[in-house]
């Protein structure tokens, strides 16, 4: 039987950030990070776009799984949960979780996306730390020749006093001296973490249940996925950061069942369209011939140094947030004979805020099991009249934006539920144990002394912006509180 101070379940951005912050703040703590999946490529938690030779490990999804529409290449280690209410709900079982596959957009939350019960100064400092851990920048695509034209057009449409203006999307990307990009996966968050004496990453190891004595966790029962061998890891505290579906699943399987567990599921309805930037906007240096395409970049991603990623921020009176990508390798079918400059095809994706409801939920079927023998995941999810109104408004705004940019390439379309991959709320935090939240503002699960949760699933508000930065910031707050508590009790 092994013993640790903290067991962290999940090695995605939040699990890794939690372990990193614990180790930085209290180096003497012994920390174990568990993941049921394996390492993709050579670096634990590396982003797949940084792998120059994908090889068989990145050949595709597990047997029987289907990627979300338009996803290319397929996300290795990722599979659909498989539920009629949310057909594109997906999970990633690999070291790094979805953080090995994400688009790396890291906008800050604004207006009523920010939980009102958190100390603004504490949250602001945690957001700065999260930006540091994720290597967030607004300058990754400064070389994009048409970026300025795109942002000028969108700014003229959407900028208003007292609102955050249209600008470059903050992204978790590092730019080398030659202009090539390195995408942030959890490996970047970790730094030298896995080389430290008191920190261990154990891949291929599933947490089956948290062992509880009274209100205290005493450890975790784990199983080796390859062999089926079971064992127990003792711990002074347990942090579960296993995504918005499997975090509440593990708590449920462990008999930890606050009233709000699995409820308040928040996906962001996603509306998309594309436009061909009008030649009248392409002037000066933007017309320069450039010989770099997506096919020559690591991972074959559609966003390269010559593309731009722009941001139309969320505002309380405007219930969506815009992510605008210039696509050098356009997935949009163009008319024969049409020649475009790099970045001239612009994809627009609007994420809508969804009304937060207790009846939108993930729940667990104790009469059926998933592939790991855990209670099977079920989902209830419905779009309300308010949600439909927000989607309709986003469609109209996208039509306007596409026309302003130049030539619309088809009508805006709504992706199936679950396509955003921005699942939130299922272990939401709150200021009081009143049945509407699962954990306190430090991430400690109500009714327990030493069980913590982290991830997008702790975000309690209706949001439209990409949630990873916020989730990592909340993990920073949680890890610091836990480290201080454990150090004080030695």
| Residue 449: cis peptide before it, omega within 30 degrees of 0 | no
| Per annotation, catalytic residue among 47, 182, 321, 422 | 422
DSSP state of 268: -
Name the nearest CA neighbour of 126 among 423, 483, 488, 471.
471
Q: What element of type H or E holds 332?
A: none
d(CA 320, CA 6): 38
Length of the chain: 490
d(CA 192, CA 94): 20
Name the nearest CA neighbour of 270 among 412, 420, 104, 450.
420
> 431 φ, ψ to 5°?
-80, -15
139 has catalytic annotation: no
Name the nearest CA neighbour of 45 among 191, 181, 174, 175.
191
DSSP state of 276: E
Q: Is 439 exposed, middle or buried (0-12, 13-18, 19+ CB in 10 A)?
A: buried
Name the nearest CA neighbour of 240 among 252, 250, 226, 230.
250
Tokens of 397: 């705004």
d(CA 88, CA 91): 10
Q: What element of type H or E holds 349?
A: strand 345-352
Q: Other C-beta atoms within 10 Å of 215: how many?
A: 12
Residues near 98 by beta carbon (within 8 Å), at least 6 away in sequence: 12, 13, 78, 92, 243, 421
Q: Which residues belong to the active site? A: 422
């Amino acid at each position: 039987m092994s013993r640790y101070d903290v067991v962290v379940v999940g090695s995605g951005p939040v699990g890794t950030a939690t372990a990193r912050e614990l180790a930085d703040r209290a180096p003497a703590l012994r920390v174990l990070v568990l993941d049921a999946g394996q390492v993709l490529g050579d670096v634990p938690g590396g982003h797949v776009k940084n792998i120059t030779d994908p090889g068989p490990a990145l050949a595709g999804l597990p047997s029987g799984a289907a990627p979300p529409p338009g996803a290319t290449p397929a996300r290795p280690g990722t599979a659909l949960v498989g539920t009629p209410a949310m057909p594109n709900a997906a999970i990633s079982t690999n070291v790094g979780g979805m953080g090995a596959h994400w688009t790396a957009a890291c906008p800050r939350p604004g207006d009523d996306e920010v939980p009102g019960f958190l100390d603004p100064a504490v949250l602001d400092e945690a957001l700065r730390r999260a930006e540091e851990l994720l290597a967030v920048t607004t300058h990754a695509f400064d070389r994009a020749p048409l970026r300025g034209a795109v942002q000028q057009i969108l700014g003229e449409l959407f900028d208003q006093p007292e609102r955050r203006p249209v600008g470059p999307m903050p992204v978790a990307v590092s730019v080398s001296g030659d202009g090539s990009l390195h995408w942030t996966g959890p490996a970047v968050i970790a730094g030298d973490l896995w080389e430290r004496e008191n920190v261990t990453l154990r891949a291929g190891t599933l947490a089956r249940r948290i062992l509880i004595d009274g209100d205290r966790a005493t450890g975790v029962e784990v199983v080796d996925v390859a062999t089926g061998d079971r064992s127990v890891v003792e711990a002074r505290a347990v942090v579960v950061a296993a995504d918005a579906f499997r975090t509440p699943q593990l708590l449920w399987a462990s008999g930890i069942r606050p009233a709000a567990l699995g409820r308040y599921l928040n996906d962001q309805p996603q509306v998309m369209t594309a436009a061909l930037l009008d030649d009248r906007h392409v002037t000066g240096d933007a017309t320069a011939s450039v010989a770099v395409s997506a096919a020559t970049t690591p991972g074959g991603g559609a966003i390269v140094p010559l593309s731009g990623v722009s941001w139309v921020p969320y505002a309380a009176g405007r219930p969506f947030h815009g992510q605008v990508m210039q696509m050098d390798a356009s997935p949009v079918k163009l008319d024969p004979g049409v020649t475009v400059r790099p970045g001239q095809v612009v994809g627009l994706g609007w994420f809508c805020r969804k009304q937060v409801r207790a009846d939108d939920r993930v729940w667990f079927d104790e009469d059926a099991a998933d592939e790991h023998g855990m209670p099977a995941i079920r989902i209830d999810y419905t779009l309300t009249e308010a949600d439909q109104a927000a989607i309709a408004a986003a469609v109209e705004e996208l039509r306007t934006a596409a026309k302003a940019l130049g030539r619309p390439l088809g009508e805006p379309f709504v992706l199936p539920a679950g396509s955003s991959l921005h699942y939130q709320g299922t272990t939401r935090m709150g200021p009081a144990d009143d049945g509407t939240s699962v954990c306190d503002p430090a991430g400690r699960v109500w009714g327990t002394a030493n069980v913590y949760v982290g991830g997008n699933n702790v975000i309690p508000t209706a949001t439209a912006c990409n949630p990873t930065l916020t989730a990592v910031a909340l993990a920073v707050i949680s890890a610091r509180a836990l480290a201080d508590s454990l150090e004080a009790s030695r």
